[in-house]
């Protein structure tokens, strides 16, 4: 299946009220395991991918290493792959577009692209982030690539527990502007309020994507509200590492008990008079 076909298939999976569920991967092995479970598409998590290779989140993992990891993922599976590309590794529009083009060269058909200023504080203005999205879309159009740009806003993450109407109104403005700039989807991690999710889904011309976290409504309820995509983000990686840690702890605990018992029995045998 070529990239254009994959891109079309991926876009078609975003159905309001019948959300695409993405259980995020971080390397080739996790990608294959998820695809073996019949996943229709694959998404990476920037936090998980970085942590799995000893880096903090926030574009700390070098671009060349990210490309190597993605290349191994692409060589291992044959479903549409979308990449969490954070802020695109550049504040310069030309370099940003070139960086996304490098991912397309690997066969990637979608990206998450956030409005947080990765190397600074706060969010880009609506106008500035719209121009950044336009630069990516222009590059993709020139390549003949229908890349799925999942425009992410960190409005709700930046506000912590501030799920309120004023943030929702700001999100609506960004959703409309990002759609005009060429975005394909609108990602709102941190938004958990039932009513606000429904209102945003009704207002947005773009398919709405939410991220699994404590307090988020159930998948059936999200479908009722009109959500088109549900991402698990770093959750799969965190749960996998916790299971690995627990398994290793059991091994070392059992080994320690066995060694201590053997040592005790040996000392007892030596101390017992014949």
Low-confidence spans in the chain with pLDDT less than 70:
160-163, 258-259, 261-274
Q: What is the pLDDT of residue 242?
A: 98
pLDDT tens digits, one per residue of 12-32: 999 999 999 999 999 999 999
Neighbours of 64 (CB within 10 A): 8
Q: What is the pLDDT of residue 254?
A: 84
* Reported CATH class of domain 3-233: alpha beta
Pairing verdict, β 42-43 and 229-231: unpaired
C-beta separation of 113 from 149 below 8 A: yes
Taking the C-alpha atoms of residue 77 and residue 75, their distance in angstroms, rounded to an integer, is: 6
pTM of the model: 0.91
Query: Per-domain residue ranges for the chain?
Result: 3-233, 239-274
Relative orientation angle of helices 93-106 and 63-76, to the nearest 10 degrees: 30
Q: Which of 43, 1, 2 is nearest to 19 (CA)?
A: 43
Q: What is the pLDDT of residue 255?
A: 82
């Amino acid at each position: 299946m070529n990239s254009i076909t994959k891109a079309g298939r991926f876009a078609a999976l975003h159905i309001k009220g019948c959300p695409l569920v993405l259980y995020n991967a971080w390397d080739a092995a996790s990608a294959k395991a998820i695809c073996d479970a019949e996943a229709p598409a694959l998404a990476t998590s920037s936090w998980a991918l970085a942590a799995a290779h000893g880096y903090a989140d926030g574009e700390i993992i070098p671009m060349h290493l990210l490309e190597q990891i993605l290349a191994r993922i692409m060589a291992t599976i044959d479903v549409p792959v979308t990449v969490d590309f954070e802020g695109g590794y550049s504040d310069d529009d030309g370099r940003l577009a070139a960086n996304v083009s490098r991912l397309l060269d690997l066969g990637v058909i979608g990206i998450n692209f956030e409005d947080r200023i990765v190397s600074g504080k706060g969010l880009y203005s609506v106008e500035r982030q719209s121009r950044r999205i336009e630069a990516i879309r222009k590059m993709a159009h020139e390549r003949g690539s229908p890349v799925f740009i999942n425009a992410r806003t960190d409005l709700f993450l930046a506000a912590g527990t501030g799920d309120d109407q004023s943030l929702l109104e700001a999100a609506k403005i960004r959703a409309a502007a990002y759609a005009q700039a060429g975005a394909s989807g609108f990602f709102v991690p941190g938004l958990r309020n039932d009513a606000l999710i429904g209102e945003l889904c009704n207002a947005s011309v773009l398919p709405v994507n939410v991220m699994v976290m404590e307090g988020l409504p159930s998948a059936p309820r999200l479908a009722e509200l009109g959500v088109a995509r549900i991402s698990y983000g770093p959750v799969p990686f965190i749960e996998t590492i916790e299971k690995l840690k627990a398994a290793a702890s059991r091994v070392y605990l059992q080994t320690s008990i066995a060694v201590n018992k053997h040592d005790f029995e040996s000392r007892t045998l030596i101390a017992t008079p014949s």
